[in-house]
Amino acid sequence: MAVAATAARPAMLPSGVLAGVDRTGVESRDPTKRYTKYELIGQGAQKKVYRAFDEERGIEVAWNEVAVGELANFREKDQQRVFAEIRVLKQLKHKNIMTLHDYWFDERRLTLNFITEIFPDGTLRQYRRRHKLADLPAIKRWAWQILQGLVYLHGHNPPIIHRDLKCDNIFVNGTSGMVKIGDLGLVTLCKDFSAPQSVLGTPEFMAPELYEEKYDEKVDVYAFGMCLLELATMEYPYSECHNAAQIYKKVMQGIPPASVEKLPSGELRDFIRLCLEHNPELRPEARQLLKHSFFEPIRASACAAVAAAHAASSCSGCSTPKVTMSPSVSMGPAEASLAAAAAAAAAAGSLSRVGSFLAGSVDNGGLACACRDGSNSCSSSS
Q: How far apart are CA 54 and CA 62, in angstroms?
A: 10
Q: Which of 166, 170, 168, 167 is nearest to 181 (CA)?
A: 170
How remote is the C-alpha of 149 from its chain's centroid? 5
343, 351 contact by CB (below 8 A): no
Q: How far apart are CA 149 and CA 153, in angstroms?
A: 6
CB atoms within 10 A of CB 249: 11
Q: How far apart are CA 143 and CA 162, in angstroms?
A: 16
47, 103 contact by CB (below 8 A): no
Q: Which of 30, 102, 168, 183 is catalytic?
A: 183
363 is catalytic: no
Is the previous residue joined to 158 through a cis bond, with omega within 30 degrees of 0?
yes
Strand intervals (E) in 33-169: 35-43, 47-54, 59-67, 100-106, 111-116
Contacts of residue 118, Cβ cutoff 8 Å, sequence gap at least 6: 51, 52, 60, 61, 62
**Type and span of the H or E element at 378:** strand 375-380
Please identify every residue annotated as catalytic: 183
